Amino acid sequence: MGVLKEVIAARYNPAEVLALLRYKRKAVKAREQMTLSLDPDWVYAYSNLSKVSRSFSLVIMELRPVLRHPICVFYLVLRALDTVEDDTSIHPDIRRDICTNFHNFLEPEEGENAWSSNSFGDGAEKDLLIHFPIVLRCYNTIDPSFRTVIKDITKRMGAGMAEHIEDTSCDSTADYDQYCHYVAGLVGLGLSDIFAISGCEEPAFSDRTELSNSMGLFLQKTNIIRDYLEDINEGRTFWPREIWVQYGNCLTDFKDPANRKFSLAVLNHMITDALRHMPDCIEYMSHVQTQDVFNFVAVPQVMAIATLAELYNNGKVFEGVVKIRRSKTAQLVLSTKNMDALYKVFFDYAVTMLKNVEPHDPNAEKTRQILNKVIDVCLPHVPASPDLVIPNVISIILFCGLSSYVLKRRQDHFDGAVFTWRSAGGIMEFSDMVAIAALFLVCIYMFGFFLLPYMSKLQQDEVRRMYTESRTSNPRPQRVVMLED
């Protein structure tokens, strides 16, 4: 039923409908294959993963074996920790103590029972904490070098969460960045370490800590902006006072439609603050060498920029949770397979947001500067021709169908000596005329556009080859000017 609703929501975009159906089929197939040869502990781990992370479970399951198990455990451990920190119905002292010591739960002392709890969260998150000993058994089967990374990040994240456990608001942008570092930036650092330790990426890959941190901050800030109303209703907020005080006396006042002018201004300010991490994110992903690692890190980023584009200057943020369609998510997941595709996604959304910048917005100039920086980085890699894959597939189907129909109709009008469209002196039937005209138009399209994407790709590859040769003979720093703050 959910799939049907999404198909109806995306009915005016055939590419999204096709992507959603492909994504659903791919996800089911991946889950089936993943659990065929696994023991019950890992079956539970991946089953729970698909429930607590619907969007990213597929890219995790598509990782190569050396990465798949460690990252699955890494995600579930941190999700369990986040569930404890996030449950404000439990006394802060209890949550603080658990967060501080959570890393010790991963490797209990001899004779101690594995930690579990039925007091936190609900749904799949609650089930995860109840069955946390299963996750610990999975943790103990992975390589010790991965366990070291997971335990270290869990310790640092738990300490940061404990430090902010009673915070219901955020004062400065520095505090805001620090909190996002604890809950998301550290995840980026840990993942980069895992990529490097596994040998899938170069050893130096994990040394780019600022880039890894920005990857996490960009995602976390997107979620915080999107969840304004939900957090306000729960009696907390992460929007820094340093920003919102410029537009009102109380953060809750922005819910009032009468204050929509100011609420949009503070919203756009928050989004502009998140956008400053985009160049770092693009730079990080440009260094990824392995295909499945690229898929894993790129999908959340393109979903984040798509979400920010949807949130920008959108008053619905103060009325409920604004999300991109699942069909759009599926399209982004399936299409972002290389840097060229990623450049195009970031370019398209940056251009979209740039068009929506209001001249009177207090942060208009700063927003334009950041978006133009992203556009400058992406533009050399964006194909000059549009993406015609879907139209080309449709044209092939129409050509085959119309050709079969026309040949069949000619056979029907065969008079025993020659093929004719007229029977007994009559004129061509209207349906036949329409079919021939449609076939003629399809042929014109195919002759004019069918090879365009491939010719453009060849031309683009040749330009890059010449560009690389010229830089090899006269090397200069790459992208430094465009990416520096």
- In this prediction the pTM is 0.78
Q: Is 64 labeled as catalytic in the residue annotation? A: no
Q: Where does the pLDDT of residue 202 fall: very low under 50, low under 70, confident under 90, or very high at 90 and above?
A: very high
* Residue 410 known to be catalytic: no
User: Is residue 296 flagged as an active site residue?
Assistant: yes
Q: What's the pLDDT score for residue 298? A: 94
Which of the pair, 189 or 322, is modelled with greater confidence? 189
What is the rounded average pLDDT of the residues 340-354? Answer: 93
Which residues, in sequence order, are bridge partners of residue 183? none
Q: Over the stretch 241-276, which tens digit does the pLDDT of each residue have?
A: 999 999 999 999 999 999 999 999 999 999 999 999
Given 102, 179, 312, 318, the catalytic residue:
179
For residue 467, pLDDT over 70 is answered with: no
The pLDDT assigned to 484 comes to: 33
Q: What Å distances lie between residue 254 and 169, 225, 268, 469, CA to CA?
A: 15, 13, 13, 55
For the chain, how big is the Rg over CA atoms in Å? 27
Report, as an integer, the average pLDDT of 304-319.
94
C-alpha to C-alpha distance for 374 and 343, rounded to whole angstroms: 9
Confidence of residue 288 (pLDDT cuts 50, 70, 90): very high
pLDDT at 386: 58
pLDDT band at 478 (very low <50, low <70, confident <90, very high): very low
The whole-chain average pLDDT of the chain stands at 84
> Closest Cα partner for 395 from 333, 467, 446?
446
Per residue in 106-128, pLDDT tens?
A: 998 887 889 999 999 999 999 99
Measure Cα distances from 248 to 242, 245, 259 in Å.
Answer: 11, 5, 9
Tokens 């799939």 identify what position? 3
Residues 6 or more apart whose CB falls under 8 angstroms from that of 296 comprise 59, 60, 62, 63, 67, 71
Residue 137: its pLDDT value, please? Answer: 95
Q: What pLDDT was estimated at residue 438?
A: 85
Q: What's the pLDDT score for residue 160?
A: 94
DSSP H helical segments within 287-388, as ranges?
291-311, 326-335, 339-355, 364-378
**Six token digits for residue 367:** 């927003």
Selected catalytic residue, list 137, 156, 236, 241: 236
Catalytic site residue from 226, 312, 318, 346: 226
236 has catalytic annotation:
yes
DSSP conformational letter for 384: S
pLDDT of residue 353 exceeding 80: yes
Could you say which of 105, 176, 247, 296 is catalytic?
A: 296
Nearby residues of 106 by Cβ (< 8 Å), 6 or more positions away: 77, 136, 139, 147, 150, 151, 154
Residue whose pair of structure tokens reads 């997971």 in the numeric block: 150
**67 neighbors 293 (Cβ within 8 angstroms):** yes
- Quick one: 378 exposed, middle or buried, by C-beta within 10 A (0-12, 13-18, 19+)? buried
* 322, 2 contact by CB (below 8 A): no
Q: At what angle do helices 291-311 and 209-226 cross, to 10 degrees?
A: 40
> Phi, psi at residue 170, to the nearest 5°?
-130, 130
